[in-house]
Amino acid sequence: MTTIKSASKRPVSRAVRLNRSALFDIAKRWNRLGTPAARAELFDQKARNDAPLYANNIENFIGTVSTPVGVAGPILVHGGSGSREYSVPLATTEAALVASYNRGARLVTSAGGCNVRVVDEGVSRTPMFAFNSIAEAYQFSAFVIANTDRIRDVVPQITRFGQLKNVRTIIEGNHVYVDLRYTTGDAAGQNMVTFASDAICRCLIESAPVAPRFWFLEANLSGDKKAASQGLSGVRGKRVVADVIIPGSLVERALHTTASRMAEYWCAGAIGGVMSGTTGVQGHFANGLAALYLACGQDVACVAESAIGITRMQVNGDGDLYASVTLPNIIVGTVGGGTDLPSARACLDILGLAGSGNSEALAEVCAAIVLAGELSIIGAFCSGDFAAAHRSLSRGETMKRSGDDD
């Protein structure tokens, strides 16, 4: 296989201040927009000072937006590398959301914490190659599989951190889809796998015994930023599982309902999910994940795939509540992307998870806070408090639980 040259690695710009050209470009954009009041809000002094930090994260920069950040917890997590309490920053404009996750987090901690494990990982890019006939497609597919080790050797020339985990081919007519699955270290890895896959594809074209008519770097089989059913049983990013046992007495005291009613709700919700055609069975994974992703500099669009999964609740033999969540597509990193931007770095610092060596722990926090949110929202539906809590926290009305006298 043809050897490719290493891609140049341009250092990230961290200039102290904007140069005159950049300031002039921003001024021109605002002049075209003609909205001075908006300019005062979006391009304030802090946005101006921090603008150089955004050079590799945004184009046509005009300023920044402020989203409120609250904190939920502490939540006690027994993860793959030990036990630790986390205070979890959540960025949102939805009233009652942080309060709900905070209630669930404190419930989990009061129950002794939750167990969390990352059970699989891998990020795919799926190019497609088109040929004249099925015979050519089959020949190319066989070549790819026979040369898996040589394909794997391309990746270190592109990235120091990514590794090609496995390769598989799927033949559809005279088309061959190649599923290239990688591990990406402490980065979320979307760009990493894109660059490596592009290099692999070009090497394949140079070396294959049959040339494709055309090819595409990504042909929509990976599930990137989509709620795909294949992701439910597989993995994209990190597959994370969390569970907890809540004593029945604690359920009654903290959630004002019973373990059996929580399990009954889960059953009703599962059937409702089947009837509506959802991918997986869960209450509101997207709420917690979007808030955590936004706070910690993650790619928020990945919530489309990250928020599929399974919640399960049942009563065990002692009358206690067993609850678990399975999230097969957690795409998070603690290096790269937006994680070095000021507010994201601050939120990762609150978690104690900024920098290398922490991506698995961040994925565990994602599962733990999602579990907390599922317990809290299902408890609210079972106790009849859901609407009253939202009225109280979003409108300032006095909270009145279901069943209270008028």
**Residues catalogued as catalytic:** 94, 225, 299, 390
Structure tokens at 384: 């009849």
Nearest Cα to 79, choosing from 304, 335, 371, 280?
371
Alpha helices in 76-121 (DSSP H): 97-110
Angle at which helices 359-383 and 285-295 cross, to 10°: 140
CB 126 within 8 A of CB 180: yes
Residue 12 tokens read as 């990230």
Q: How far is CA 381 from the centre of its chain?
A: 26
How many Å apart are CA 79 and CA 183, to the nearest integer? 20
- The whole-angstrom separation of Cα 180 and Cα 105 is 37
Is residue 218 within 8 A of residue 192, CB to CB? The reply is: no
Residue 363's φ and ψ, nearest 5 degrees, are -65, -35
- Residue 96 backbone class (left: φ over 0; alpha: ψ -120 to 50; beta: rest): left
User: CA–CA distance from 141 to each of 39, 144, 180, 239, 345 (Å)?
Assistant: 55, 5, 13, 28, 44
For the beta carbon of residue 155, count every other beta carbon within 10 angstroms. 22
How far apart, in whole angstroms, are the C-alpha atoms of residue 14 and residue 401?
Answer: 52
Distance, in Å, from the CA atom of 182 to the CA atom of 188, rounded to the nearest integer, reads 11
CB-based contacts of 276, cutoff 8 Å, min separation 6: none
Q: Which helix (H) or strand (E) holds 260?
A: helix 259-276
Q: Evaluate whether 219 touches 212 at the Cβ level (below 8 Å).
A: no
362 to 22, 75, 101, 289, 295: CA distances (angstroms): 35, 13, 17, 11, 12
